[in-house]
Amino acid sequence: MSAFRRKKYGKVKPVPKPKERPPEKPAVLDLRNIFSRIKKSPESQLNDLLSEALLWWIQAIPYLQWKYKKMPSLPLEAAKAFTSAQHFLDSGRSATTDKVKAAAFINALERYARYAAPIFKTPAIRPYLQKSKEVSKKTAIRSKQLTHKFDSLLTLLSQCFDYPGLHFGVQDVILDKYKEERDRKVDHTLNKIYYSREKMVAMKKQLFHKGLLSVVLEEADFIARALSLSSDKLGKGSFVEDPFAHLCLFRKLLRNFERFAGTTAAPKMLVKREKKRKVLK
C-alpha cells in the first residue's frame, strides 16, 4: 500500500492590497465664494459665514492629512498651525458673545490656511473682512434712518412691554444662515430685537386695521420666547428654550401691557370693532 502523498500546489500568490483611494480634493473656489459673501455682508451676519468657511476646512482636513502621509514628515509649522486652529475652533464654539466667537473663528481660519500652505494656497480672509466693515457702516447708517422713521412704533412697543434692558431696532433686510428673509432677529448679547422694514410696515397696517391688542399678543409671544432662551444648558453658543420661563415672561409682558393700557399715553383704540351695517327700511 502506497503511503499517502500530499498533493503539491503551486506557490500561492499574495492577494494584492486594494489601492487606497484618496479623499476628495476640496475646491478652493468654494471657499473663495464664501469669502466673497463675507465681503458683501454686514458684520451682524459674519458668524454664520465664518462657520460655513470653517465647515469647508473641516471637510478638507482628510485630504490634507492624506497628502501629508505621503511626505517624509509633517512640517513643524503645519503641525503647530493645525493644533492652534483646533484650539481656536473650540474656543469659538464655547464663546458666549458674537464678538469673541468671530475673533476665535477668524484666528482658526488663518491657522488652517497655514496648515494647508505646503499643499495648496487659499485666499486670505482679512481683505474680505475689511470690505465687510465698510458694508456694516452703510448698514448702520441705514438702520439709524429706519429707526428714526419708525420711532413712534418702536417707542410704543417699548411702552407696552416695559421690560428692563430690552431694546428695539430696525434693519432693511434680515437674513438667516440659509439666506432666507426673516421678520425679526434677536441679538442676545445686546438684548435687542430687530425688525425688518417690511415687518414694521405690516405692523403699522395691523395696528390701523385691527388695533393695538392684536400687535401686542403677537409680539409678546415672540419676545417671551426670545427672552426665555438660555445658553447655560448646552454651552458652546447654543440656545435652548425654557417653556416655563416662556409662559412666565408672556404673562409678565401682558400684565405690563394691561398697566400701560390704563394710562393716558396708550392709544384710544385697543381693538378695532366691526361697524354695524345700517339696515334700510
* 31-59 confidence digits (pLDDT tens): 999 999 999 888 878 888 999 999 999 99
Domain final residue, candidates 131, 166, 192: 131
Digit-coded pLDDT (tens) for 79-112:
999 999 999 999 999 888 888 999 999 999 999 9
Burial of 88 (0-12, 13-18, 19+ CB in 10 A): buried
Mean pLDDT of the 267-276 span? 81
Q: Which residue has the cell 485666499?
A: 123
pLDDT greater than 60 at residue 232: no
Residues 124 and 163 in one domain: no
Residue with grid cell 420666547, as numbered in its chain: 225
User: Is 280 contained in some domain?
Assistant: no
Domain identity same for 156 and 240: yes
| Co-location of 40 and 127 in the same domain | yes
Residue 122 and residue 183 in one domain: no
Tell me the per-residue pLDDT of 245-257, one tens digit each, with 9 for 90 and over: 999 999 999 999 9
Evaluate whether residue 103 is within a structural domain: yes
Give me the mean pLDDT over the 123-140 stretch: 90
Domain containing residue 171 = 150-261
Distances from the Cα of 67 to the Cαs of 24, 29, 71, in angstroms? 11, 20, 7
pLDDT of residue 12: 65
Give a yes or no: residue 278 inside a domain: no
CA–CA dist 279, 281 (Å, integer):
6
The answer as to whether 22 is a domain residue is: no
Residue-level pLDDT at 242: 85
Residue pair 140/164 in contact by the 8 Å Cβ criterion? no
Whether the CB-CB separation of 186 and 226 falls below 8 Å is answered with yes
User: Greater confidence, 102 or 22?
Assistant: 102
**Grid coordinates belonging to 94:** 464655547
Considering the domain architecture, whether residues 38 and 98 belong to the same structural domain is answered as yes
Q: Which residues contact 123 (CB under 8 A, 6 or more apart)?
A: 28, 31, 32, 35
Which pLDDT score, from 0 to 100, does residue 280 have?
66
Q: Are residues 161 and 248 in the same domain?
A: yes
Dist. CA 51–CA 149, nearest whole Å:
34
Q: Indicate the pLDDT class of residue 135, thresholds 50, 70 and 90.
A: confident
Instruction: Work out how many domains the chain is built from and give that number.
Output: 2
**Residue 171 DSSP label:** E
The answer, yes or no, to whether residue 233 has pLDDT greater than 50, is: no
- Left (φ > 0), alpha (ψ -120 to 50) or beta: where does 189 sit? alpha
> What is the reported pLDDT for 235?
46
> What is the reported pLDDT for 175?
78
Kindly report the CATH number assigned to the domain that includes residue 160: 3.40.390
Asked whether residue 115 is assigned to any structural domain, the reply reads: yes
pLDDT reading at 1 higher than 70: no
What is the average per-residue pLDDT within 3-30?
A: 75
Q: Does one domain contain both 227 and 161? A: yes
Q: Does residue 212 register a pLDDT over 90?
A: yes
